[in-house]
Amino acid sequence: MIDDLRVELACPAKVNLALSFGGPNGEGMHPIASWMVAVDFSDQLTVDRLDGGESRFDLAFAHDAPAPPRGGVDWPLEKDLAYRAHGLMQSHTRGQLPIAVTLRKRIPTGAGLGGGSSDAAGVMVATNKLFDLGLDTATLVRIGRTLGSDVSFAVAALMGKPSAIVTGTGEVLEPCANTADVHLVLIFPGPDAACPTRAVFQTFDRITPDIANKTADETGVRTLAQHPPLPPEGPFNDLTDAACTVQPVLREIKIKIENALHQPVHITGSGSTLYTVAHDDNHAKDLADHVRRQTGLHAVQTRTLPVSS
């Protein structure tokens, strides 16, 4: 819902259906090729325009969040990406943009689903609308990039481009014309399988043969994205072995679910969220139910968001 004083948005999770990296460059950055999609599993954001005074932020996990941390929102507000995104918008416009933010999170934190980045994008899009700033999508994407490539992608997703090929070192975002629905089941292994991103990349550099000469597989990423439908065995992720090395329990869980479902299970981002591809909504529901019965883990059926014409 959008009106002159309030914007309500569903801030979607992102899934890397293909993720490939080259070896680190001179600045320690890894060239990337990825097919990112936004799905209808989301956080709920409400942003109200205030007449003046200090902006307010009410951040909490939703009552139906599938895997909330025991401590709830336990990080400093100043480090939250939604809060920082609002600061960026004020810096860009060189003015005060007082808002009241109510965020109810369902996307687990640190799970490779870009929940914090999506919330940040939502705050940017809402603030732009509420104050009639007139910033176009390209400008919002550019502003969001300073917080990370996932924020840029999430801005584009909220503006109707929920499928993209990401290249360079994450700064090149190319909307993907693939409009075929992808049905997924997201599986959350829990806090014991958390995968710190820095540790995963360090391990990736250590265990990858000839890492200095490795290049990102952009051709493979584009081929997968451009030839629907997506088969269950289609997704790939260069960080899978590294994530499972950092967290051996993640490999055990992945194998257990694959044996239960008799089909491949993949990792999104640097982990720890797992996912598998379904044929349709009914198949996704059956797979999610089976995962819950066999493992006791949280599993959520979801699908990609439609591309705007």
Could you tell me which of 124, 123, 80, 133 has the C-alpha nearest to residue 101?
123
Beta bridge partners of 59: 103
Rounded alpha-carbon distances, angstroms, from residue 268 to 14, 24, 238: 9, 20, 10
Task: Classify each residue of 92-108 as buried b or exposed e, where b means 16 or more C-beta atoms within 10 Å of its C-beta.
Answer: beeeebbbbbbbbbbbb
Stated length of the chain? 309
Decide the pairing of beta strands 183-188 and 172-175: unpaired
- 168: left (phi > 0), else alpha (psi -120 to 50), else beta? left
Could you tell me which of 22, 2, 35 has the C-alpha nearest to residue 216?
22
14 has catalytic annotation: yes
- Report the alpha-carbon angle 32-174-89, nearest 5: 95
119, 150, 217, 238: which one is catalytic?
150
Could you tell me which of 199, 280, 214 has the C-alpha nearest to residue 244?
199
Secondary structure element (H or E) that encloses residue 294, with its range: helix 281-295
105 has catalytic annotation: no
Contact 265, 161 (CB under 8 A): no
Q: What amino acid positions are annotated as catalytic residues?
A: 14, 150
